[in-house]
Amino acid sequence: MRPLVAGNWKMNGLGASLAEIEIMAADVNGAPDGPEALICPPATLVARAAAQAVGRIAIGGQDCHAEPSGAFTGDISAEMLKDAGARYVIVGHSERRQFHGETDRDVAAKARAAWRAGLSAVICVGESEAERDAGRALDIVANQVRNSVPDDADGARAAVAYEPVWAIGTGRTPTNWEITQMHAHIRAELAGLLGAGGRDVRILYGGSVKPANAGEILALPDVGGALVGGASLKAKDFLEIFRAASRKV
């Protein structure tokens, strides 16, 4: 399974930031035998980034609306992202769930919208600190997988990103045992939902991934890549994580 290293720039990046994408693209250069690199910049940069990185790294959106068009001021459809040159879109990120009230049903609808437009979806799941402390992490994430991942998903159109909400941007990281346990749990849920096809869906780890811990995390069983936040804003850091994933191929 080819690892996927995805960078989520969140609400960061101006035109000058495209220089970082150029450095990344020049180093990665679309090598078919290595990991797959994906950068999801803000929507204002998707078209320019896609034109710049074409054939070398993939560009994606950070969210999409479930409908292809309509009176939804400020929203962006999956078709618009595709038209701008995107190949992926992140759906259900914890910040969308937390700050915009997105439900599992919303996330599943957005994943289907991505497929309708010809995009692959990175479907995010993860528990809060309170849920983990209450011993509910496995149940919470299993429920999210069952309700956020459409039952006709496959490895060509979908990846699942596990992001423990309490680790995002905090510098805290779960133990290797906690990551291994959760990824195995997600794999079992995908197998139950998708049958044999559940083995082909990449499960990314996201939550304070940085060059210092990437190699150790990416070497764990059932970790099929990483969803990288702040460390993806600088080419140097992102490429160090990408090279760590290369050792898994």
CA angle (84, 59, 244) in 5-degree steps = 180
Residue from 36, 79, 93, 131 carrying the catalytic annotation:
93
Please give the single-letter amino acid code of residue 100: H
- In the DSSP assignment, the letter for residue 215 is H
- In the DSSP assignment, the letter for residue 36 is E
Catalytic annotation present for 163: yes
The full DSSP string for 56-106 is: TSEEEES--BSSSSSS-TT--BHHHHHHHT--EEEES-HHHHHHH---HHH
Q: Confirm if 75 and 42 have CB atoms less than 8 A apart.
A: no
Query: Would strands 202-206 and 88-91 be described as parallel, antiparallel, or unpaired?
Result: unpaired
Cα Rg of the chain (Å, integer): 17
Residue from 163, 183, 185, 189 carrying the catalytic annotation:
163
Catalytic annotation present for 178: no
- Helix (H) or strand (E) holding 205, with range, is strand 202-206
Catalogue the active-site residues: 93, 163
